[in-house]
Amino acid sequence: AREAKLDLVTKHIKHFPDFPSKGILFRDICPILKDPGALTAVIDLFEEHVRQTHPQVELIVGLDARGFLFGPLLAQRLGVGFVLVRKKGKLPGPTVSVAYKLEYGEAAVEVQEDAVAPGEKVLLIDDLLATGGTMYAACELMKKQNAEVMGCMVVIELKELNGVEKLKPNTLFSLVQY
Ligand code: PRP
Ligand code: ADE
Ligand code: MG
């Protein structure tokens, strides 16, 4: 059943050469969202992983923007809350932020100051891990709030960029690898 679900997920990933710029092979998860069976398979696979590996999880933390597509569905399945890590300047009230380097320039991720309690056990989720810069910054943000990062999860891991190294000591669970 697990193999069939992974197969269904893989079949619903589209590949666009040279998007958004020349030399980038863009992995598009939009077809997964369009297919209820494929989307259910993604959430099933994440749920199975969490129940087996991190049953103590208290909060799912999703990354802006594509992490928001999967995170709330998984959180509901698990019966835990969902928290948004957003790109800088989008969240009202007191926030904490962590800056990180992009290929070109800088970006920052932000969370509301009261969103995560000290010691809370969190799992981070996004659609894709490339260099790992975004996910690492989100982990740092959680640690700044004294949350306990149990692990990171993505639908797609781009192996050649070695984001897993960048993420350390945080761990990664991915459904599909390229
Ligand atoms: C993409 C993707 C991941 C991130 C991975 O998001 O959804 O969040 O890049 O790259 P990294 O591992 O090298 O940091 P992007 O910032 O393009 O925007 P979006 O999610 O808002 O569409
Ligand atoms: N984010 C960073 N690299 C990406 C890729 N190759 N496809 C989709 N999203 C990405
Ligand atoms: Mg993203």
- The domain segmentation of the chain, as residue ranges, is 2-177
* Ligand 2: nearest atom to the Cα of 127: 9
Ligand 1 site, residue 134, Cβ cutoff 6 A = yes
**pLDDT one-digit tens code per residue, 69-118:** 999 999 999 999 999 999 999 999 999 999 999 878 899 999 999 999 99
Name the H helices within the chain: 2-11, 30-34, 36-53, 71-78, 133-144, 163-167
pLDDT of residue 105: 87
Residues by chain with Cβ below 5 Å of ion ligand 3: 66
Ligand 2 site, residue 123, Cβ cutoff 6 A = no
Pull the structure tokens for residue 74: 């998984």
pTM here? 0.98
Q: Please identify every residue annotated as catalytic.
A: 66, 103
* Ligand 1: nearest atom to the Cα of 107: 16
pLDDT of residue 52: 98
Strands (E) located in 90-171: 95-101, 106-112, 121-129, 148-157
Which residue of 158, 174, 176 sits with most ligand 2 atoms within 8 Å of its CB, as the best mutation to test the pocket? 158
**pLDDT one-digit tens code per residue, 20-54:** 999 999 999 999 999 999 999 999 999 999 999 99
Ligand 2 site, residue 155, Cβ cutoff 6 A = no
Give ipTM to 2 decimals.
0.99
Task: Note whether 76 and 40 are within 8 A (CB).
Answer: no
The residue ranking higher by pLDDT, 59 or 103, is 59
The rounded distance, in Å, linking the Cα atoms of 111 and 31 is: 29
- Helix, strand or coil for residue 41? helix
Is it true that domain 2-177 has CATH number 3.40.630.10?
Answer: no
Of 89, 80, 172, whose CA–CA distance to 128 is shortest? 172
From ligand 1's centre to the CA of 85, what distance in Å?
12
pLDDT of residue 114: 98
| Strand pairing class (106-112; 81-87) | antiparallel
Which residue of 106, 128, 141 sits with most ligand 1 atoms within 8 Å of its CB, as the best mutation to test the pocket? 128
Residue type present at position 118: P
Q: Region 138-144: what's the mean pLDDT?
A: 98
- Helix, strand or coil for residue 57? coil
